[in-house]
Amino acid sequence: AQSVTQPDIHITVSEGASLELRCNYSYGATPYLFWYVQSPGQGLQLLLKYFSGDTLVQGIKGFEAEFKRSQSSFNLRKPSVHWSDAAEYFCAVDDSGAGSYQLTFGKGTKLSVIP
């Protein structure tokens, strides 16, 4: 079965610092990969997705992620964190191969931002 691992449960960074959130997956073929963000008390919002092509993908709110097949990773990055980025971040993989039909989510990484 496919699985998604987010090794960091909680990360704290200072405002203005760079950020990298890790995501590793196990899946036989090239997966469809997603990063979602959940602000406190809210549903999930899509930050970015990778299906094919350029392995560096740009998303909303200044986030980017890089797909590395050799490492089975899809890490999320932001060069300069803002206080409003404090939230929980989820990496997800499509199980069905159809795009977003059935997603397997990681357990999430909670981001705290120090002013």
Task: Name the site residues for other proteins (rule: CB under 8 A).
Answer: 9, 32, 34, 36, 41-46, 49, 51, 90, 99-103, 105-108
What's the min distance (Å) between Cβ of 114 and other proteins? 22
What's the min distance (Å) between Cβ of 99 and other proteins? 5
Q: Which is nearer to other proteins, 18 or 58 (CB)?
A: 58
What's the min distance (Å) between Cβ of 16 and other proteins? 29
Q: Which is nearer to other proteins, 68 or 107 (CB)?
A: 107
User: Within the chain, how many helices (H) and strands (E) appear?
Assistant: 0, 12
Torsion of CA 44, 50, 56, 61, to 10 degrees: -20
78: phi then psi, degrees, rounded to nearest 5: -150, 130
Q: Which is nearer to other proteins, 15 or 105 (CB)?
A: 105
Nearest to 92 by CA among 38, 12, 13, 11: 38
Q: Which is nearer to other proteins, 48 or 81 (CB)?
A: 48
The span from the CA of 59 to the CA of 26, in Å, is 23
